[in-house]
Amino acid sequence: MTSLLHLDSSASDHGDSVTRQLTALYADTWRCLHGSAGYRYRDLAAEPVPLVSPAFVSLGIRVERRGTVALPEVAEMTEGPAEEREWALTLPLIAEMRAAETVLVGVPMYNYSVPASLKAWIDRVTFPGAFLDPGTGDHLLRRTNVVVVTARGGSYAPGTPREDFDFQTPYLRAYFTDLGVAPENLCFVSAEMTRASDVPALARFKPLAADSLAAARSAVSGLAGRSARSGAGARTR
């Protein structure tokens, strides 16, 4: 079954959030092509993933010292109720990520980086060895498609004055590729100048904002449609 894991991290509601609108467009297009059976949604802002605790860290260190441990064996390595709770919170997130053929992430830029809600998910799902084959050490996400939809109030494109202030896209590119996602399977779609309509100092950039949003809408629709033609469902893990 073709599957999509859809994550939103914006603190704004749908009406005010460009990333929510764009990821919803992708998800709606995807469901029209594939149906809803393989669709899974998490709103990381509305239902925050708990921050990792000392018990999470202790369990992770113990597992890492053993090398790559199969997920069913991790529960047997927990020591005490606190570690058991941490693993119970963590395993479902890892399972969702491993099961998804495509991961769709909505990421507004907050203070030049990613929202805390997304960072909490990243910190918890990135458990030692969770995305490695315990037998071979191969990356389990090498064929997973990841679509990252970003929105920025200003412009951070190459050649702009604030190009060097973008710690959002480089961070997520480094994170997902290090997790094992193949670079060719990692796509970024960005809408820029999204605050031009409500920040007087940016008002002159309204045409640029409109063009950027239109291009982003076209890109996410195209990517969602391409998933039907790519034959991703024929792969194995």
Q: What is the CA radius of gyration of the chain?
A: 19
Q: What share of the chain is helix, strand, coil (3-state, %, to 5)?
A: 50, 15, 35
Helix (H, G, I), strand (E, B) or coil at 157: coil
Question: Was 10 annotated as part of a binding site?
Answer: yes
Nearest to 81 by CA among 61, 63, 50, 55: 55
Nearest to 213 by CA among 49, 21, 65, 33: 21
Strands (E), the chain: 4-8, 39-43, 102-108, 145-151, 186-191
* Annotated binding-site ranges for FMN: 10
Q: Which residues are annotated as a binding site?
A: 10
